[in-house]
Structure formats: C-alpha cells, structure tokens
Amino acid sequence: MPSASVEVVNEVGLHATPLAQFVACARSFSETTIRVQRDERSADGKSLIGLLSLEALKGTTIEITTEGPQAEDALQTLVALVASGFRRG
C-alpha cells in the first residue's frame, strides 16, 4: 500500500470547502481505497464527515494511504492537491 505524508499548508486547514475538493478527487478513483491519518485518528478519504473529524489545521501533517488498481495515481494526485493548498491548476 503506497503512502505519503504531506503538510496542510492552506490558511484555513482542512475544513469543509477544501475537503469537498479532496473527497471529489478521491471518489474519482472509484476502485481505490483511500485512508487519511492524523496522529492516531484515521478516516476514509472519501468521507467528508470522517475527514472533518481529523481536525487538521494549517501546519498539521497527515498521512494518505491508498490501495487498489489506481493507488499510485490517487496518492500522487491527492498529495499534490494538499501540498498546493487546494489550488486548482
């Protein structure tokens, strides 16, 4: 299972708006399981409510783990999204 750590860099942290973007992106990898962990807390990467429960503020490091046929692509895409501060481009 590929995994990577990434720091939350956007000013507001992982709140509803950026997480909705994250979840939409994660769900585009329909056959891939995505988990996000912060300290001892873990959430389904395709669940907005679950991700909100991580309470990841700016400067927090999260770990994203993927498993499935598109695991590497999903991981790279989601890490880039978080690292960019959820900037589209």
Rounded Cα–Cα distance for residues 31 and 54 (Å) = 24
pLDDT exceeds 80 at position 89? no
Q: Is 6 known to be catalytic?
A: no
Which one of 15, 42, 48, 67 is the catalytic residue?
Answer: 15
- Answer whether residue 89 is part of any domain: no
CATH number, position 67: 3.30.1340.10
> Residue 63 in contact with residue 1, Cβ under 8 Å?
no
Rounded Cα–Cα distance for residues 27 and 83 (Å) = 19
* Residue-number span of the structural domain to which 63 is assigned: 3-83
Rounded Cα–Cα distance for residues 65 and 20 (Å) = 18
- Answer whether residue 68 is part of any domain: yes
Chain segment 7-47, per-residue pLDDT in tens? 999 998 999 999 999 999 999 999 999 999 999 999 999 99
pLDDT of residue 87: 84
pLDDT of residue 31: 97
For residue 21, give Cα distances in angstroms to 39, 40, 84: 22, 24, 12
Rounded Cα–Cα distance for residues 4 and 67 (Å) = 12
For residue 66, give Cα distances in angstroms to 27, 34, 38, 40, 89: 12, 5, 15, 17, 23
- Answer whether residue 88 is part of any domain: no
- pLDDT-above-70 percentage for the chain: 98
- The number of folded domains in the chain is 1
